[in-house]
Amino acid sequence: MKKKNLVYLGIIVAVLLFFIILFILLVNGMKAQKLAQFDQSIISFVQQFVSPSLTNVMKGITFFGSIKWLTTAVIVIALILFFQRKFALGLFVILASGFGAFFNRWLKWLFKRERPDIFPIIEAQGFSFPSGHSMGAFIFYSSVAYLILHLSRSKVINLISTLFLFLFIIMIGLSRIYLGVHFPSDVVSGFVAGGAWLLICILIFRFYKYRKNR
């Protein structure tokens, strides 16, 4: 394996370990009720800006982290990749988001954290930790960013698209706090769990590509 690939692999593994450790710290903080002050302060700050017009905006943003939208987007992107005979990338998108959704459901069942009851603007079902919208959005939109980096040779396009998708992920997480359906620690844990899962998928994909090209 080339030195460049080893460095790339080392960075991915290091970031993956960081995400895993951070998620464990969040879980321990949640169980010990150490995140209550953090959650309350962020919720109070965000919801002071509540207004009818901003609520409509946040409802629109949160839709792009919903199961309905993400499922549709995954299918469309996968079909485009299959049509272009990029089967490995198509499967990568499907499996990353598909199994990521099951992973989120399992984590919610495992921790069984109830949703916040502080000024909920919309109704949401199920448990709260980690946020499914945040985790799903992180996995999907980061997968799209990875696809662009993988396929595009333009550094400008790569930079702009990555920054835009990163900010969009943050806005989806923020919308869940604004709408009163998640604690901030739910959102952060969703990002962290989503990041860890995506990196595992990238490692598997890179290993597949390496074996195929040998």
Rounded CA separation 103/158 (Å) = 29
- Cβ atoms 186, 130 nearer than 8 A: yes
Rounded CA separation 69/65 (Å) = 7
Given 113, 172, 182, 202, the catalytic residue: 182
Clarify whether 150 is annotated catalytic.
no
Using alpha carbons, list the distances in angstroms from residue 73 to 69, 85, 208, 210: 6, 18, 24, 28
- Cβ atoms 181, 46 nearer than 8 A: no
Rounded CA separation 199/139 (Å) = 9
Rounded CA separation 189/165 (Å) = 18
Given 108, 113, 133, 176, the catalytic residue: 133
| Enzyme catalytic residues | 133, 182
